[in-house]
Amino acid sequence: MIDPVEIRTDPVTPHEWQEAVDAAHLWLLIDAARQYGLVTGGPAVDVGRCEEILAAGATAGFRPRELSNGELREVMFALPTKIVADQ
């Protein structure tokens, strides 16, 4: 997945758009979970940029894919820094 914090230009291809929209959505979920105290640590989330990507993606016809709980956990545990609270 593309990390929206590191994106400085808009995606070009449909594949890039879908990955950017998915990543932006995931980072906003992580940010919300952090605000509720459900996860700790990890990089700061550029909420504004994530929202820009979601809005531009929606204009281009892209929506975040639905992830099952298992898929979401897989993605979160694959991130380079520990952001998931110990279970």
**pLDDT digit of tens for each residue in the chain (87 aa)?**
555 555 467 888 999 999 889 989 989 988 998 888 888 887 889 999 999 999 999 999 999 988 777 776 776 666 554 444 433
Q: What is the dihedral of CA 70, 74, 76, 78, to 10 degrees?
A: 180
Distance CA 49, CA 15 (A): 19
Distance CA 60, CA 43 (A): 28
- Answer whether 0.85 is exceeded by the pTM: no
35 DSSP 8-state letter? H
Residues 61-64: contacts with CB under 8 Å, at least 24 apart: 62/14, 62/17, 62/18, 62/21, 63/21, 64/21, 64/22, 64/24, 64/25, 64/26
